[in-house]
Amino acid sequence: MPFTTQTGFFGPEGARLYYEVAGAGHPVLLIHAGIADSRMWDDQFELFAQQYRVVRYDLRGFGQSEVPAGPFSQSEDIVNLLHLLGIQKTALIGISFGGKVALDFTLSYPDMVDALVLGAPSVGGSPSSEDVQRFNEEEDAALAQSDLAAATEVNLRMWVDGPKRTPEQVNPDVRERVRIMQRHAFTVPYPESAEELSLTPPAITRLTEIHVPTLVIVGDHDIPSKIALTEHLATAIPGAQKVIIPGVAHMVSMEQPAVFNHAVLSFLTD
């Protein structure tokens, strides 16, 4: 049976979000990392669609999605997308910033989520570690000089290479794919009046409220603060399971797709 994908935009001009849908069965929503866009799921999208109705989309300011001139909510975007597709309940899979979005949505709309996979997630309300603060300073300095290539490389060194590897030790295809996505994100217009609304109280104080089956995944070459945060999630979220993928840093689903896919599909089946 040939693989077919439904693609589209939703929302008004100037605030459109791009999405893709494939497969049939129980819904699974893929939420990308903050250094990527929906293309990071190329190693999962078609495979998962053999068993599930899989949805991937570009968060605001990434890929083909736009940023509105005014306040916006990541959770409301998901609600609107799911309603558009006639989906009442879904499994969520989020990586990094996408994990933060998935957590916030689960806490805001618990009746719409029945499983949660968090890959090296950020968590709303958790303090920035020293290594993340240094990264932010280096990125800001490059952007202040309008040096998008340097700012992109700062992201690659931090989030793709990780602290234990040189660029030469990383799969060059993965590095190039992320470079293209992150470089593009720096060019997406971001109106001065745009405001991303935050979950209040933040997720870090509400982890015990999550009562859906949860899997947390992290690479053992990720930054120490991200590994520690993942450990905390695995302990604080009731009944959460944990998988550590050896030899990879932050982008676990791209560096080791076979291992990641097996862990996630086994979890969803169970």
pLDDT score, position 239: 97
Q: Where in the chain is the domain with CATH 3.40.50.1820?
A: 5-127+189-269
Q: What is the pLDDT along the chain (270 residues), one digit of tens a residue?
A: 457 899 999 998 889 999 999 999 999 999 999 999 999 999 999 999 999 999 999 999 999 999 999 999 999 999 999 999 999 999 999 999 999 999 999 999 999 999 999 999 999 999 999 999 999 999 999 999 999 999 999 999 999 999 999 999 999 999 999 999 999 999 999 999 999 999 999 999 999 999 999 999 999 999 999 999 999 999 999 999 999 999 999 999 999 999 999 999 999 998
Instruction: Pull the structure tokens for residue 88.
Output: 């009442």
123 and 203 Cβ atoms separated by less than 8 Å: yes
- Going by their DSSP bridges, the two strands 53-57 and 195-196 should be labelled as unpaired
pLDDT score, position 1: 47
Contacts of 205 (CB under 8 A, 6+ apart): 125
57 and 82 Cβ atoms separated by less than 8 Å: no
pLDDT score, position 14: 86
Q: For residue 13, what is the DSSP state?
A: T
Whether omega for the bond prior to residue 213 falls within 30 degrees of 0, making it cis, is no
User: Across-strand partners of 95?
Assistant: 119
Q: b vs e for 115-148, b when ≥16 Cβ sit within 10 Å of the residue's Cβ? A: bbbbbbbbbbebeeeeebeebeebbeebeeeeeb
pLDDT score, position 2: 56
Output the CATH code of domain 5-127+189-269.
Answer: 3.40.50.1820
